[in-house]
């Protein structure tokens, strides 16, 4: 596999040191710490958008959503493994 392209990112020294401390504490690399932080931020923003969408649903839409969610949960718990 070819190595990923890289770039330089200028950070305040204090932030760089924070990242290094976290990496050392975790026994990993600074890039792993930054990657994890970006991934978590993206996930948090996605969940925020889901909550925002749910908050503007009408009572009828909420009812439909709950029925569909229950059907999906029941299908996922049916014990079939897809083979």
Share of the chain above pLDDT 70, in %: 93
Res 30: pLDDT: 97
The structure's pTM equals 0.67
| pLDDT tens digits along 69-78 | 999 998 888 6
Residue 38 has pLDDT above 90, yes or no: yes
Enumerate the domain spans of the chain.
14-76
Contact 22, 33 (CB under 8 A): yes
Query: Can you tell me the distance from the alpha carbon of 58 to that of 64, in angstroms, rounded to the nearest whole number?
Result: 10
> CA-to-CA distance for 25 and 19, rounded, in angstroms?
10
Mean pLDDT, range 13-37, rounded to an integer = 98
């Amino acid at each position: 596999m070819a190595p990923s392209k890289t770039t330089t990112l200028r950070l305040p020294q204090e932030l760089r040191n924070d990242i290094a401390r976290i990496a050392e504490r975790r026994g990993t690399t600074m890039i792993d710490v930054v990657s994890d932080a970006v991934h978590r931020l993206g996930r948090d923003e996605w969940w925020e958008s889901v909550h925002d969408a749910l908050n503007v649903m009408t009572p009828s839409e909420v009812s439909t959503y709950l029925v569909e969610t229950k059907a999906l949960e029941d299908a996922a718990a049916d014990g079939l493994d897809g083979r």
